[in-house]
Structure 1
Amino acid sequence: MSIDDRLPPAEQSDAHLPGLYQDGAFWGMTATQLFGAFNDNLFKQLMLLLAVPVGAAAVSQDDQQWLATVVFSLPFVLFSGYAGFLSDRFSKRTIILMAKMGELVVMTLGVLAFANYSRTGYTGLLVVLGLMGTQSAFFGPSKYGILPEMLRGSDLPRANGLILMTTFLAIIFGTASAGVLGQWLVDETAPLAESAGGLARGSAFCIGIAVVGIVTALWIRRVPPARPDLRFRMSALTMTPETRAVLRNDLPLLAAILASCTFWLVSGIAIQSINSLGLVQLELGKQWTSLLTAMIGVGIAVGAVTAGRMCRGRADPRVVRLGVWGIVAFLLILSISLPGGQHLLGFWGSLVVLMLVGVSAGLFAIPVQVYIQARPPAGQKGRMIAVMNQANFIAITLSGIIYLAMDRWAVAMDWPRSILFAMIAGLFLPVALFYRLPGDK
C-alpha cells in the first residue's frame, strides 16, 4: 500500500512542494530535532553514569538508572494526550517554537542543578530531567505530525529515515560527549558532589545548543492548524473518543502502535543494560562505556537511512521482518559470557554487535513509523501520534522498573551483566513471531 493511498485528496495535492533534498523547511526541522535530541541525551547520560555504582559499591548499592528513566519518561505518559490536542488545535510550527524556548529554560536549570549538587543532590537533577521530559512530550506530536503536512507523501519514508538517522547521530554525539565530559571534568576518586559540580561546566554547552535549535526552528514551513475548531475535553489527556474509534476500527494501526511500544520497551532496557555491561562487567570507564551506548546509535542511523531507501515510498513489511529478527539474533549473541564471567565479545566485539543491533532496529522502526504516520485520517494525525508517544513512553517508564527487577535478579544469582541481553531478546521475541505489518504474508 502506498502512502498516498491513505491520504485524503487535500494532502495528495502536493505537487507544488519542493523535493525533499531541496526543501529548506525539512532541513530546518531536521536540524531542530537533532539539537534537541543532542541536549536530551547529553544530560540524561550524565545522570545515568552518575547513577551506576561501580567496583565494590556495585554489590552493596542499587543501580539508580531505573529512577532516572522513569522520571524522564513519566511526563510523556501524563502529557502526550494534551500535547496531541495542541498539535491539532494550533499550528504545529508554533508548538515546535514554544517547545524549543522551553528547552532553553530547562537547560539553564540543568546547569544550575549540577552546580548546586551539594545542596540539591540527585533530586535536583531528577527535577530537571522531569522538566526535560515534559518539554520533549510537547515537542513530539508536532515534530512527527508536521511531516505529512509539509512534505510530499512519497517523500515520507526518506524523510523519516533522515529524521531518525539524525536523531541517532544526536544520540551518538550526545551520549559520547557525556562520557568524554565525565572523563575529563570529573575525578572519579572525588566525592560525588564534587564530581557533579565539575559537570556543570560541560552542561553549560547545552544552553548554546538550545539557542541554535530555536534559530533553526524558524526555518520550518508555516502550516495551518489541522483542526482549529477542536475543543479540549478531559478525554484528550488520554485518548479521545474519535481516536479510540479509529483504533477500534483499524486493527492494523493498533497492532503497529503495540509493536512500536514493545520496541521502545526493550530499547529502554537495553540502554541501561549497556551502561551496566560497560561499567560493571567489562570494567570500562565512563568514556568507553558511553562509546558502547553511542555505537547502537551509529547502527540505528545506518539502518534508518537503509530502511528509507528500501521502502521505496511505502511501508515495506519485508524490511520489518529483517529488522525484527536481526534485533533478536544480535541481542542473543551479545548476551554470551564464558565460564568465569568473561564476556565472549569483550569491548571491541561488543562495539560491532551493538552497531548491528542498531542497524536492525532502524530497519524495524522506519516502516512501522511511516505506517503510523500515514494511516490515520488527516484531522487525527497529531492525536494519533500523541497516542503512539504515550504508549511508547508508558513502555519506557516500565523499562526502568523492569530493568531494576532484571538487574537485581542478575546480582542475586551472581550472573554476568551480559545475561540482561538474553532477557531483552526474550521480551522482543513475541513481536518477531506474531507481528505482521499489513502486506506481510
Structure 2
Amino acid sequence: MMSSPVAFSHSTLRVPVRLVSAMCAPYALRRGQGERLPQALPYALLQAWQDVPAGVAKPYTGLARALRQAFRVGPPQQSHARVLRASSCAQLPIRFMKKGFYTIIAAQFISSLADNALLIAAIALLSVIRSAAWVTPLLQIFFTISYVLLAPFVGAFADALQKRHVMFISNALKASGCMMMIAGVHPMIAYGVVGFGAAAYSPAKYGILTELLPAEKLVKANAWLESATVLSTIVGTMVGGALISTFADRFVAHAHLPLIRSSADLAMFAVMLTYAIAAAINVFIPDTGARYPNRLSEPTRLVGDFYHCFNVLWADKLAQIALWVTTLMWGGAVTLQLLVLKWANVNLGLSLSKAAVMQGVTGLGIAVGAAAAAALIPLRRSLRVLPVGIVTGAVAIAMAFYNKNLFPADAGIHVGSYGVPLYIVLAYPLMILLGGLSGFFIVPMNAILQHRGATLLSAGHSIAVQNFNQNLAVLLMLGAYALLLTAKMPAQWIIVVFGVFITFMMWLAKRRSATNERTANMHVLLEE
C-alpha cells in the first residue's frame, strides 16, 4: 500500500512513510549531502548506453551525443560517491534490480489501478440500485473493517505462505468481490470481500521486497513501488470515471452484454478483469526462497505482541505525536475522499464521472507536496511542519464554501464550441493546493514514525500499529459521516464540521508536542 491524501481510494491511500521516503528519495537527496538526481541521472543513462548492442544503438547515437553535450556529464565526483551509492541514484534502475522486481511493480500498478477505479464503480452501482446517501460511507466501513480486525494477523499470514502466492490470493479475492457485485450481491458485502483481500495484500507487497533485494537496494525498490502506486491512483480514478460516463451508458445500451445492465456493471466487469490480470502477473513473480515459521497457530501470542507494540509507540513522546497526526490525517483523508465527490456534485454540478477527475487532480497535488517535503524537510526538522496540518484543515473549510454561484454563469475559457466554466478551472488549483498541503505534511510525520518505530520496535511491527490506528480512525470518521448524512446535514456543512475537527485536533497535537519538548529532548530522539 492508501495505500493515503485527500483523493486516494482507501486501499492505496498509504501516503504514509512508504510513499514518502520511497517515492521521493529518487528525486531529491538531502540538502548538502551530494549531487541531485538531475546531475547523476544523465551519467547513469550514458553508462548504461555501453551495454546496448551496436546494431541497436546506432540509430540513437546522435541522441546520446546530444545528452552528453547538453548535460556536460562525466563520472560523479569522487567526493560524492558514497552519497550517490547510498541513495542508489548513480545507477540506472534497469541495471540495478533483479528481473523479478519489475514483475512485482507491474502487478502492483495494475492492482492499484483497479483499486481506485473500483471505488468509483461501486458508488455508481449504489446509484443504480437507488441506495440512500448514508450507504456510501458504509462501503468504506465494510472495506476497512478487515484492516482493523486482522491487524495482528495479516503479517503472520503473509509469512506463512510464499508472498507471491499471498498476492495472488488477495487479487483473486478482489476479483471475486467484483464478480459478486455483478451477480447482484449488495455492494457493501462484496466490497467487504475486496477489503479482506486488500488487508492481506499490503504486508505481502512490501515484505517481498526485503526477500528479493538486499537492504541497500530497498530505498530504490520502494521508490519504484510507490511511484507506480501514485501513478496508478491518478490513472485509476480517471479510468473509473470514464467507465461510468454517458458514452459507456450508450455502449451498454447497444451492446446487450449478459449480466451487464448499466455502465456501473461494465465498470465492475472491467475492474474484475484488471484484478485477474494482476493475479496472473503474480504467478510469474519468482520464488524468493524465503520461508518463515507459521505463527498463525499462536493467535494469542500475536495479539499480545501487537498490544505491546501499540503501547510502546503511544508511550514514546515523539512517536505519539506522529502517530496522532497521521491517524487523524488518514481518517480525515478517506472521509474527505467521499466528501469531495459529494461536494463536486452539489457545489459544482458535476456528475460522478467528472467528479472523479477532481480526485485525480488532488492526487497530483499530493505527489508534488510529498516530493517538496522530501527535498526541503530533513528528519531533524520534521516537527516544524505541524502548523501545515492546521492550514490543511482551514483550506478544507474554505473548500466547503466554494461553488459555481460565486462566478458569472458565462465566465470561462472558450475555444470554438468547446468551453470550460471558470468555476471548474479554478477548482483544480484549489484541489491541488489541498492535496499539496496534505502531501507536504504527511511525509515528515511518517518519516518520524518510521524512524521511531524502527528504533523502538521493528519496521513491520510499527507499520502494523500505524495501519491499525489509521483504519480505526477511518471507521470512526466514516461512521460519523454516515450519521450526519442520515440527519440530512448538507454536504457543505459536513465538510465544515470535519474541517473544524481536523484543525482543532492538529492544534492540540502542536500543543502536545510543545509540552513534550519541555520534558524530553525531541532532537535527540530524532537522531537516535
TM-score, length-scaled by structure 1: 0.76
Structure 1 residues 220, 38: closer, same or farther in 2, change over 3 A?
Answer: farther
* Distance apart, 1:270 and its partner CA: 0.6
Change (3 A) 1:346 1:308: same
Give the structure 2 partner of residue 169 of structure 1.
231
Structure 2 residue aligned with 1:106, among 150, 174, 185? 174
Can you list the C-alpha shifts for 1:407-436, whole angstroms capped at 9, x where unaligned? 345x45xx5x33333222212113532436
Question: Matched residues in 2 for 1:359 and 1:201: separation?
Answer: 33
Structure 2 residue 244 is the aligned partner of structure 1 residue 182: yes
Pair 1:364 & 2:441 matched: yes
Q: Secondary structure at the match of 1:303?
A: helix
Q: Structure 1 CA distance, aligned partners of 2:380 and 2:465?
A: 20
- Change in CA separation of 1:343 and 1:276 when aligned onto 2, cut-off 3 Å: farther
CA positional deviation for 1:295: 1.7
Match of 1:9 in 2: none
The one of 136, 140, 144 equivalent to 1:73 is 144
Relative to structure 1, is the Cα distance of residues 108 and 155 closer, same or farther in structure 2, using a 3 angstrom cutoff?
Answer: closer
Which residue number in structure 2 is paired with residue 252 of structure 1?
Answer: 318
State yes or no: 1:24 paired with 2:97.
yes
Q: What corresponds to 1:265 in structure 2? A: 331
Amino acid of the residue matched to residue 19 of structure 1? S
CA pair 260-315 structure 1, distance change in 2 beyond 3 A: farther
8 Å Cα contact 1:186/1:198 also seen in 2: yes
- Once the two structures are superposed, the pairs formed by residues 373-412 of structure 1 within 5 Å of their partners are 373-377=450-454, 380-409=458-487, 411-412=488-489
2:507 counterpart residue number: 433
Provide closer, same or farther for how the CA distance between residues 52 and 201 of structure 1 changes in structure 2, counting only shifts above 3 A.
closer
Contact persistence 1:81–1:383 (CA under 8 A):
no
Q: CA deviation at 1:268?
A: 1.6
Q: How does 1:32-431 map to 2 (within 5 A)?
A: 32-51=107-126, 61-87=132-158, 89-90=159-160, 94-95=162-163, 97-114=165-182, 116-117=183-184, 120=185, 123=186, 125-144=187-206, 150=213, 156=219, 163-183=225-245, 184-186=247-249, 197-214=262-279, 215=281, 222=288, 224=290, 232-234=298-300, 236-237=302-303, 240-244=306-310, 246-247=312-313, 249-311=315-377, 314=379, 316-317=381-382, 320-321=385-386, 323-337=388-402, 342=405, 346-377=423-454, 380-409=458-487, 411-412=488-489, 415=490, 417-431=491-505
How many Å separate the matches in 2 of 1:233 and 1:105?
A: 23
What's the CA shift for 1:273?
0.9
**Maintained 8 Å contact 1:295/1:355:** yes
- Deviations along 1:319-359, whole A, 9 cap, x unmatched? 73364244223213212257xx9367833322221111111
Classify 1:65/1:246 alpha carbon distance in 2 versus 1 (closer, same or farther; 3 Å). Answer: same
Partner amino acid, structure 1, of 2:233: I
**Structure 2 counterpart SS, 1:62:** coil
Q: Which runs of 5+ in 1 are unaligned?
A: 4-13
Closer, same or farther: CA 171–291 of 1 in aligned 2, 3 Å: same
Find the structure with the greater CA-based Rg: 2
Determine the C-alpha separation between the residues in 2 that align with 1:223 and 1:376: 27
- Which residue in 2 is equivalent to 1:11? none
Post-superposition shift, 1:406? Answer: 3.2
Aligned residues, how many? 406
CA distance in 1, matches of 2:238, 2:146: 25
SS of the residue corresponding to residue 405 of structure 2 reads coil
- 1:382 Cα deviation after fit: 1.8
User: 1:73, CA displacement in angstroms?
Assistant: 0.8
Task: Say whether the 8 Å CA contact 1:269–1:402 is kept in structure 2.
Answer: no
Which residue of 2 is the match for residue 6 of structure 1?
none
Whole-Å Cα distance in 2 between the matches of residues 402 and 161 of structure 1?
A: 35
Kindly state the Cα deviation for residue 187 of structure 1 after the two structures are TM-superposed: 6.3
SS of the residue aligned with 1:80? coil
Deviation at 1:290, TM superposition (A): 1.1
Q: Is contact 1:40-1:132 (8 Å) kept?
A: no
Q: Hey, what's the Cα distance between the residues in 2 that align with 1:355 and 1:90?
A: 42
RMSD of Structure 2 on Structure 1 (CA): 4.1
**What corresponds to 1:7 in structure 2?**
none
Deviations 1:365-398 (A, max 9, x none): 2222233333334873223211211111111122
Contact 1:337 1:343 in 2 (8 A): yes
Deviations 1:58-77 (A, max 9, x none): 9xx53421111111111111
User: In 1, Cα distance between the equivalents of 2:207 and 2:441?
Assistant: 20
User: 1:361–1:229: structure 2 CA closer, same or farther, 3 Å change rule?
Assistant: same
| One-letter amino acid of the structure 2 residue matched with residue 24 of structure 1 | M
Q: Is the 8 Å Cα contact of residues 28 and 217 (structure 1) preserved in structure 2?
A: no
Bigger relative contact order, structure 1 or 2 (CA pairs below 8 A, ≥6 apart): 1
**Does the residue aligned with 1:284 lie in a helix, a strand or coil?**
coil
Separation in 2, partners of 1:81, 1:242:
11
TM-score by length of 2: 0.65
The Cα shift of 1:264 comes to 1.1
- Partner Cα separation in structure 1 for residue 164 and residue 118 of structure 2: 20
Does 421-430 or 67-76 show the bigger shift? 421-430
More deviation in 396-405 or 364-373?
364-373
Q: In the aligned structure 1, how far is the partner of 2:206 from the partner of 2:388?
A: 22
Distance 1:223 1:359 in 2: 41
Taking the aligned partners of 1:169 and 1:252, their CA distance within structure 2 comes to: 32
How much has 1:276 moved relative to structure 2? 1.0
Which blocks of at least 5 consecutive residues in structure 2 are unaligned? 1-20, 22-82, 408-421, 514-521
The answer on whether the counterparts of 1:68 and 1:126 sit within 8 Å (CA) in structure 2 is yes
Is the 2:365–2:439 Cα contact (8 Å) retained in structure 1?
A: yes
